[in-house]
Amino acid sequence: METAMTSPITICNIKATNRPGFTLTELIIVLAIIAVMVVIIVPHTNRSRQGLALREEASNMLWAIHYVIDLAKNSNRSTRIVIDSKENTYMLQIATEATDQNYQAVEGFLGLPHRFDPSVHIMNTAGFEATAGKEFLVFDPRYPWPEALVSLVNSEKAMVIRIKGRQVEVDDANIDG
């Protein structure tokens, strides 16, 4: 009659195959898969961050242009947005008097130069006037509203802000090449 006991060799083999944990080979394979995933995902994350920075900067500039237009309309004074392409900044200014051509920074944080994210650059300021290495666009309620555009770019995309009088819109496009 056979008993429930088995031979010692069989018991050792069963214990060896049922132990918890992973083999070294399994761990190496999992680490290799994770490494490949990281190599694939990291460049996409960086591009995504740059795309978000471009959108955020375009949105900020769009808001600033709307603000300057409303300020000119409501204060009955000339306002302008001043762009310094070399410093990669812009700021908002208002005329000191209604008929004056002297400008001062808009009060509060809006008058401080806004520096673009390092991945975003100003490529084009068509319709802007230039003086002393800076471009500016004037919104004067006594004259017709200007038409202009500003192109913001990063390594793979461009966003164009089109100003047509009091209407402002943003278009985006991929950069080829």
- Please name the helix (run of DSSP H) or strand (run of DSSP E) that holds residue 99, with its range, or none: none
pLDDT tens string, the chain, 177 residues long: the values are 555 555 555 555 555 556 678 899 999 999 999 988 888 887 776 667 778 889 999 999 999 999 999 999 999 999 999 999 889 999 999 999 877 788 999 987 677 899 999 989 988 899 999 988 899 999 999 999 899 999 999 887 889 999 998 899 988 766 554
Return the CATH architecture of domain 35-174: 3-Layer(bab) Sandwich (3.55)
Q: Residue 96 and residue 107: Cα distance in Å, rounded?
A: 12
In whole angstroms, what separates CA 157 from the centre of its chain? 11
Is the Cβ–Cβ distance between 114 and 82 less than 8 Å?
Answer: no
Domain ranges of the chain: 35-174
Can you tell me whether residue 157 is helix, strand or coil? strand
pTM above 0.85, yes or no: no
